[in-house]
């Protein structure tokens, strides 16, 4: 039997070069599932994304998903994509096993929790807002870190810096005074040891969202990250929001252990695969 992808509609093209198209997964011409492919809006037209891949329940466990995924890779290669990315619901154990078997590797995961009553900071700790005077230096450091993540994905330096500036302009249009944003500094014994950036009406989540947590290197390993995350929980509850989310990059085991110890659980896994 022959499994292939058959377009089910016209390809949609965007002014920036983006492309989207839906396909039926067919076996000998008979539809057994569906796939939607696109270039990634944030990563650019050289990155393809599998938006959906579904096999009808009676057709599962016959290798249809594997063949459809491989056919999707060929379509994206034809579009000129150099890599493919996808995001899987944390409950999609079968999909995660399939992606791993096909050579995808995790780039990070989204996690969240319902914050409880967080304890107050230790007596020597003081939490205060980031000041307008501190904001430019903080923003420069944040943008540099963000740009390096794009550089690690192969983006050109100028484009990485430009994207970092644009994204921070969008998320923090009024700097330290941006509404529904909490920028907090943790001081311990009178010394600033870390910062946290919490969005209380974020663009990418339904509750509060931690965009950045930074502990000064020489002060790490002393519980300051935990204190800052408890600050985020208090901010979330004070804003009347029910969930607090975050993203942790693959390989950051220290952060992952901290979040898991605080009760965060994965909601989605994000994976990529180079297209040679």
pLDDT tens track for 93-139: 999 999 999 999 999 999 999 998 878 888 889 999 999 999 999 99
User: Domain 115-242: which topology?
Assistant: Aminopeptidase (3.40.630)
CA pair distance 80, 27, nearest whole angstrom: 26
Give me the helix-helix angle, 135-152 and 157-171, nearest 10°: 130
pLDDT digits (tens, 9 = 90+) for 143-199: 999 998 888 877 788 988 998 999 999 999 999 999 999 999 999 989 999 999 999
Architecture in CATH of 3-81: 3-Layer(aba) Sandwich (3.40)
DSSP 8-state class, residue 58: G
Helical axes 253-261 vs 224-238, angle rounded to 10°: 50
**Residue 158, H or E segment:** helix 157-171
Residue 19 has pLDDT above 80, yes or no: yes
What pLDDT is attached to residue 226?
A: 96
Q: Are 36 and 10 in contact (CB under 8 A)?
A: no
Domain ranges of the chain: 3-81, 115-242
**Predicted local distance difference test score (pLDDT) of residue 273:** 97
pTM of the predicted model as reported, rounded to 2 decimal places:
0.90
Q: What is the per-residue pLDDT across 223-275, written as a single tens digit (0 to 9) for each? A: 999 999 999 999 999 999 999 999 999 999 999 999 999 999 999 999 999 99
How much is the average pLDDT of 211-224?
Answer: 95
User: Is residue 1 over pLDDT 70?
Assistant: no
pLDDT digits (tens, 9 = 90+) for 44-84: 889 999 999 999 999 999 999 999 999 999 999 999 999 99
pLDDT digits (tens, 9 = 90+) for 41-55: 888 889 999 999 999
User: Maximum Cα–Cα distance for the chain, whole Å?
Assistant: 71
Sign of CA dihedral 234, 236, 241, 245: negative
Residue 2 has pLDDT above 90, yes or no: no
Using alpha carbons only, give the angle 7, 9, 14 rounded to the nearest 5 degrees.
105
Q: What pLDDT, on the 0 to 100 scale, is given for residue 68?
A: 95
What Rg do the C-alpha atoms of the chain give, in angstroms?
Answer: 22
Q: Output the six-digit token pair for 268.
A: 């989605």
* Tokens 């070069």 sit on residue: 17
Q: Which helix (H) or strand (E) holds 109?
A: strand 105-113
**Domains 3-81 and 115-242 equal at CATH topology level:** yes
Three-state DSSP state, 8: coil
Ranges 2-16, 79-93, 233-247: which has the least confidence: 2-16
- Residue 88 Cα distances to 23, 76, 103, 134, angstroms: 19, 19, 15, 38
């Amino acid at each position: 039997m022959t499994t292939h992808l058959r377009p089910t509609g016209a390809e949609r093209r965007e002014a920036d070069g983006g492309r989207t198209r839906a396909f039926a997964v067919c076996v000998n011409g008979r539809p057994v599932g569906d796939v939607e492919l696109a270039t990634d809006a944030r990563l650019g037209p050289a990155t393809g994304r599998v938006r959906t891949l579904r096999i009808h329940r009676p057709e599962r466990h016959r290798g249809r998903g594997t063949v459809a995924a491989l056919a999707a890779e060929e379509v994206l290669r034809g579009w000129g994509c150099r890599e493919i990315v996808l995001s899987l619901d944390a409950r999609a154990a079968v999909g995660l096993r399939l992606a791993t078997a096909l050579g995808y590797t995790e780039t990070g995961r989204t996690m969240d929790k319902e914050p409880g009553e967080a304890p107050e900071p230790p007596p020597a700790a003081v939490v205060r807002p980031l000041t307008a005077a501190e904001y430019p230096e903080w923003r420069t450091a944040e943008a540099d870190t963000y740009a390096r993540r794009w550089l690690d994905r192969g983006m050109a330096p100028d484009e990485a810096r430009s994207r970092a500036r644009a994204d921070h302009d969008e998320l923090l249009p009024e700097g330290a005074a941006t509404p529904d944003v909490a920028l907090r500094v943790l001081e311990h014994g009178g010394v600033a040891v870390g910062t946290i950036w919490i969005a209380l009406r974020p663009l990418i989540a339904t509750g509060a969202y931690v965009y950045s947590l930074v502990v000064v290197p020489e002060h790490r390993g002393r519980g300051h990250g935990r204190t800052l995350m408890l600050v985020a929980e208090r901010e979330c509850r004070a804003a009347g929001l029910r969930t607090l989310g975050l993203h942790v990059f693959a390989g950051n085991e220290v952060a992952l252990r901290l979040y898991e110890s605080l009760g965060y659980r994965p909601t989605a896994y994000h994976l990529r695969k180079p297209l040679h």
